[in-house]
């Protein structure tokens, strides 16, 4: 558990500061640093009183809570535990009879550019009808429902419908494989799968239902009673009689009214699987009350959301960002949001800018990887440069998922934001539920590449391995010292792993360990995230466990004897996956090596999903190991980067292997 010194060294010394314009400060909900500091002071003085006030102001409770925080079973913290509410009612029903009722909830832009508008009233009716269909098929409060859907209104409806009847959803990103689906279905004990026949991305029709069929056929999925299939395209897919039903079949005759089921505030709203340091993904369990409070509050704090905003978060609902800032936050805030089915580069790399112009987007939230790839495209083709579109509707830009390098930040600021829009570089994790360290657009002076300061009530700190606070300027481990409402509640089915992963005894057992390295600037105390300190990679903003990829590689038992996976920096994707592989046969070279590498990449795509395909695969007769047989990953990281080996190699069993691995590529 030590922060990588390389990562810290690579942090640029950044002196540019961009304070928000006076007009922005004046108009903002949290106005100026004084506004931010007042909230922090309130939260620090009486944290429980602070959260209780917000929970009463922002959420509608069918049964009010009397206790704000229950720490008696720490680190299994409980928030608002005796209160009852329904998440869907807080996103939809509460707007009925207000000016929001007939405003657009979703502006859906399909892959081919077709736009459909759904008002809050219509969305409520569709969610209610779907909720009735789920009930009619035996889905009950507390059941888990797996969602494997394309981006679109139906995916949001499916999630909201589960929430409406108190079923816990688990969304799996459409880029995961049949095997990954199978594992998640089994782990969650899901009773139903909601999917589509196909998804449309970049002009291509990609199967979803066929992957579900394959996942279910792998065994262990007896808990699944129903598969509900949205027919996104006209192409037919196989349907298993008795088990599979189309949306039109299940919705026919269902009422568009469905009273929301009140659940306890701690009721699991969803489970979302994410990668950790072991081969097995973790089912991050979130609550209903605390989670929803955070989704709503951060829409207001971080995005300063207003009634006339058009909000667009480009994340897929398969990731946490798509949960908090597509499926729940914007709806809880009564905002109009754009939901996009396709990819940023189709039909060309001007798609995002064209869509911002078309929908008059005011708040735009995307990932550094997308920005970097669009910079590259604009550099080589002027016609897709953002200057070709009218982006004057924009007022706030956001970044999420990985560190944004200052160069990309500056381009985003200049060419997309016209030097007038603050960029909120939001740091958070699946486990956090929503933003935890981020600038506030009308308050925080911005420094490119820095996520700046914690939100009010978030006791973020940087500590060493013993839990001791480190001074500004010193790199260490990022922790959060006090619980907050939207924090992870447990790892589904594995409370011991929850404690070990996030609340290690070395840090006292009640301090949340983020798993990221960070450093605070000497002058302002601003946080900069320096990258993961565990065996997790961040590739294009997607979290991948090195052990997961290693397990996938060695599962190819006819070919692979051993594998070690590390990350290396990549200009476009942030990090790239680099695999060192020892085959069961002699080490291949030349064409043959290329061929086997392709075979292994395709294998990993089948085992986990295309997003986990290693970029580099190097073959060796062996891996660098200590005499006790431990693989020396830090040496592999240097080789992957193409750096000379400067570390001590005296404990190495087989030093000659380093040259061989450095040469093979
Ligand atoms: C990284 C995504 C730097 C970090 C919301 C974290 C970031 C992991 C930022 C969580 C940021 C996320 N700056 N790094 N603004 N945002 N990260 O769970 O390493 O998919 O631990 O949640 O992404 O990824 P996750």
Weakest mean pLDDT among 34-48, 175-189, 267-281: 267-281
Q: Among 12-16, 28-32, 340-344, 507-511, where is mean pLDDT lowest? A: 12-16
Closest CA to 461 of 442, 477, 441: 477
Q: Which atom of ligand 1 is nearest to the CA of 542?
A: 20
Please check if 594 is assigned to a binding site: no
Number of residues written out for the chain: 665
Q: Which helix (H) or strand (E) holds 658?
A: helix 656-663
Tell me if 473 is assigned to a ligand binding site.
no
**Residue whose CA is closest, atom 11 of ligand 1?**
427
Residue 429: HSE in the Cβ half-sphere, 13 Å Cα cutoff: 26
> Distance from the CA of 489 to the center of ligand 1, in angstroms?
19
Atom of ligand 1 nearest to the CA of 399: 15
Per-residue pLDDT at 2 exceeds 60: no
CA of 515, closest atom in ligand 1? 21
* Ligand 1 center–CA 429 separation, angstroms: 5
pLDDT at 129 over 80: yes
Q: Is 489 annotated as a binding residue?
A: no
Query: Is the ipTM beyond the 0.90 threshold?
Result: yes
DSSP 381: -
DSSP string, 241-289: TTTEEEHHHHHTT--S--PPPPEETTS--EEEEE--SSSSPEEEEE-SH
Ligand 1, residues at Cβ distance < 6 Å:
274, 319-321, 400-403, 425-430, 451, 515-516, 529, 532, 538, 543
Rounded to the nearest angstrom, the distance between the alpha carbon of 155 and the centre of ligand 1 is: 23
pLDDT at 106: 99
Predicted confidence (pLDDT) at residue 11 exceeds the cutoff of 60: no
Ligand 1, pocket-test mutation among 427, 434, 519, 539, most atoms within 8 A of CB: 427
CA pair distance 78, 288, nearest whole angstrom: 11
Range with the poorest average pLDDT among 6-15, 178-187, 264-273 = 6-15
pLDDT on residue 13: 58
Give pLDDT, residue 279: 79
How confident is the model at residue 473, as a pLDDT?
A: 95
Element (DSSP H or E) covering residue 118: strand 115-119
- Evaluate whether 439 touches 427 at the Cβ level (below 8 Å): no
Residue 427 is labelled as binding a ligand: yes
CA distance 107 to 465: 48
| 115-119 and 84-85 strand pairing | unpaired
Residue 219, pLDDT above cutoff 60: yes
In which band, very low, low, confident or very high, does the pLDDT at 139 lie, cut at 50, 70 and 90? very high
Atom 8, ligand 1: which residue's CA is nearest? 429
Q: Which atom of ligand 1 lies nearest, measured to the CA of 319? A: 20
Mean pLDDT of 108-114: 98
201 is in an annotated binding site: yes
Alpha-carbon separation of residue 411 from 358, 373, 416, 446 (angstroms): 22, 12, 7, 14
User: pLDDT value at position 426?
Assistant: 98
Distance 403 CA to ligand 1 centre (A): 7
Please determine, for residue 500, whether its predicted confidence score (pLDDT) is greater than 60. yes
Q: Which of 423, 488, 519, 529 to mutate to test the pocket of ligand 1 (most atoms within 8 A of CB)?
A: 529
Mean pLDDT value across residues 617-644: 92
What mean pLDDT do residues 128-155 have?
A: 98
Q: Are 170 and 283 in contact (CB under 8 A)?
A: yes
- Find the 427 Cα to ligand 1 centroid distance in Å: 6
Question: Mean pLDDT across the stretch 407-427?
Answer: 97
Say whether 202 counts as a known binding-site residue: yes
| Cβ-proximal residues to 360 (8 Å cutoff; 6+ apart), any chain | 310, 393
User: Tell me, what's the pLDDT at 180?
Assistant: 96
Q: What is the largest CA-CA distance in the chain?
A: 74
pLDDT of 354 strictly over 60: yes
Q: List, for residues 228-255, the tens digit of each pLDDT value.
A: 999 999 999 999 999 999 999 999 999 9
The 10s digit of each residue's pLDDT in 294-335 is 999 999 999 999 999 999 999 999 999 999 999 999 999 999
| Ligand 1 site-directed mutation target among 543, 569, 574, 612, most atoms within 8 Å of CB | 543
State the distance from the centre of ligand 1 to the C-alpha of 400, rounded, in angstroms: 7
CA atoms of 554 and 582, how far apart (whole Å)? 10
Look at the alpha carbons of 525, 526, 528, 532 in this order and tell me if their dihedral is positive or negative: positive
- pLDDT-derived band at 1 (thresholds 50, 70, 90) equals very low
Ligand 1 geometric centre to CA of 8 (Å): 16
Whether 401 has a binding-site annotation, put simply, is: yes
C-alpha to C-alpha distance for 336 and 339, rounded to whole angstroms: 10
* Residue 142 Cα to ligand 1 middle (Å): 29
Which atom of ligand 1 lies at the shortest distance from residue 426's CA? Answer: 15
Tell whether residue 24 is among the known ligand binding residues: no
Query: Which protein residue's CA is at the shortest distance from atom 23 of ligand 1?
Result: 401
Which atom of ligand 1 is closest in space to residue 451's alpha carbon?
15
Annotated binding-site residue? 556: no
Task: Answer for the pair 243, 227: CB distance below 8 angstroms, yes or no.
Answer: yes
pLDDT single digits (tens) 422-441: 999 999 999 999 999 999 99
Distance CA(47)–CA(275), nearest Å, equals: 31
Instruction: Tell how far the Cα of 533 is from the centroid of ligand 1, in angstroms.
Output: 12
**Closest approach atom of ligand 1 to CA 438:** 15
**pTM score of the predicted model:** 0.95
Which residue has the CA at smallest separation from atom 1 of ligand 1?
402
Cβ atoms of residues 184 and 220 within 8 Å: no
Is 609 annotated for ligand binding? no
C-beta atoms surrounding 571 within 10 Å: 11
Q: Which of the four pLDDT bands, split at 50, 70 and 90, describes residue 665?
A: low
Residue 75's pLDDT is: 98
Ligand 1 centre distance from Cα of residue 558 (Å): 36
The pLDDT, as a whole number, for residue 276 is: 84
Q: Report the pLDDT averaged over residues 489-496.
A: 98
pLDDT averaged over every residue in the chain: 95
Q: How many CA atoms lie within 13 A of 586 on its CB side?
A: 2
Q: Hey, whose CA ends up nearest to atom 4 of ligand 1?
A: 402
pLDDT digits over 34-73, tens only?
Answer: 999 999 999 999 999 999 999 999 999 999 999 999 999 9
Query: How many Cβ atoms are within 10 Å of 662's Cβ, its own excluded?
Result: 18
Is 311 annotated in some ligand binding site?
no
The pLDDT value recorded for residue 9 is 37
Mean pLDDT computed over 369-388:
97
């Amino acid at each position: 558990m030590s922060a990588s010194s390389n990562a810290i060294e690579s942090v640029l010394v950044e002196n540019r500061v961009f304070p928000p314009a006076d007009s922005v400060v004046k108009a903002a909900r949290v106005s100026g640093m004084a506004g931010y500091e007042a909230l922090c002071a309130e939260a620090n003085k009486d944290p429980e009183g602070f959260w209780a006030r917000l929970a009463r102001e922002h959420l509608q409770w069918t049964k009010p809570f009397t206790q704000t925080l229950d720490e008696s079973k720490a680190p299994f913290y409980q928030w608002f535990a005796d209160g009852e509410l329904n998440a869907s009612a807080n996103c939809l029903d509460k707007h009925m009879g207000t000016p929001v009722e007939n405003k657009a909830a979703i502006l859906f832009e399909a892959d081919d550019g077709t736009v459909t508008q759904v008002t809050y009233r219509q969305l409520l009716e569709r969610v209610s009808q779907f909720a009735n269909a789920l009930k009619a098929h035996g889905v009950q409060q507390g059941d888990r429902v797996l969602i494997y859907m394309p981006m679109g209104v139906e995916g949001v409806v499916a999630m909201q419908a589960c929430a409406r009847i108190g079923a816990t959803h688990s969304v799996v990103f459409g880029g995961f494989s049949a095997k990954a689906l199978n594992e998640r279905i089994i782990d969650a004990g899901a009773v139903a799968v909601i999917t589509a026949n196909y998804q449309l991305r970049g002009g291509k029709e990609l199967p979803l239902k066929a992957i579900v069929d394959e996942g279910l056929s792998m065994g262990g999925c007896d808990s699944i009673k129903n598969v509900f299939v949205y027919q996104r395209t006209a192409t037919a897919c196989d349907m298993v009689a008795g088990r599979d039903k189309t949306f039109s079949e299940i919705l026919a005759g269902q009422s568009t009214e469905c009273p929301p089921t009140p659940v306890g505030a701690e009721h699991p709203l969803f489970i979302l699987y994410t990668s950790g340091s072991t081969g097995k993904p973790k089912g991050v369990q979130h609550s209903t009350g605390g989670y929803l409070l955070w989704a709503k509050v951060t829409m207001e704090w971080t995005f300063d959301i207003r009634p006339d905003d058009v909000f667009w978060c480009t994340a897929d609902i398969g990731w946490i960002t798509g949960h908090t800032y597509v499926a729940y936050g914007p709806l809880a805030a009564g905002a109009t949001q754009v939901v996009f089915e396709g990819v940023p580069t189709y039909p060309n790399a001007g798609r995002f800018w064209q869509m911002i112009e078309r929908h008059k987007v005011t708040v735009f939230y995307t990932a550094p990887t997308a920005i970097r790839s669009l910079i590259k495209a604009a550099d080589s083709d002027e016609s897709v440069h953002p200057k070709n579109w009218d982006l004057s509707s924009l007022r706030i830009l956001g970044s999420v998922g990985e560190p944004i390098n200052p160069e990309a930040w500056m381009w985003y600021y200049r060419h997309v934001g016209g030097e007038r829009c603050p960029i909120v570089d939001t740091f958070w994790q699946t486990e956090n539920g929503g933003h935890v360290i981020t600038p506030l657009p009308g308050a925080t002076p911005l420094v490119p590449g820095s996520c700046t300061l914690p939100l009010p009530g978030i006791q973020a700190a940087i500590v060493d391995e013993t839990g001791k606070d480190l001074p500004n300027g010193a790199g260490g481990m990022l922790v959060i010292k006090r619980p907050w409402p939207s924090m992870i509640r447990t790892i589904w089915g594995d409370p011991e792993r929850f404690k070990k992963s996030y609340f290690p005894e070395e840090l006292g057992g009640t301090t949340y360990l983020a798993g990221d390295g960070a450093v605070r600037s000497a002058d302002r105390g601003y946080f900069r995230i320096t990258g993961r300190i565990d065996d997790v990679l961040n590739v294009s903003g997607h979290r991948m466990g090195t052990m997961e990829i290693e397990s996938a590689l060695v599962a190819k038992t006819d070919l692979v004897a051993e594998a070690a996976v590390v990350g290396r920096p990549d200009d476009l994707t942030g990090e790239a996956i680099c695999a060192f592989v020892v085959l069961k046969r002699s080490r291949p070279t030349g064409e043959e090596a290329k061929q086997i590498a392709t075979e292994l990449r395709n294998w990993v795509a089948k085992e986990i999903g295309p997003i986990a395909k290693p970029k580099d695969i190097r073959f060796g007769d062996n891996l660098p190991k200590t005499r006790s047989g431990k693989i020396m990953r830090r040496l592999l990281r240097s080789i992957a980067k193409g750096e000379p080996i400067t570390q001590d190699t005296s404990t190495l069993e087989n030093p000659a292997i380093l040259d061989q691995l450095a040469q093979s590529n």
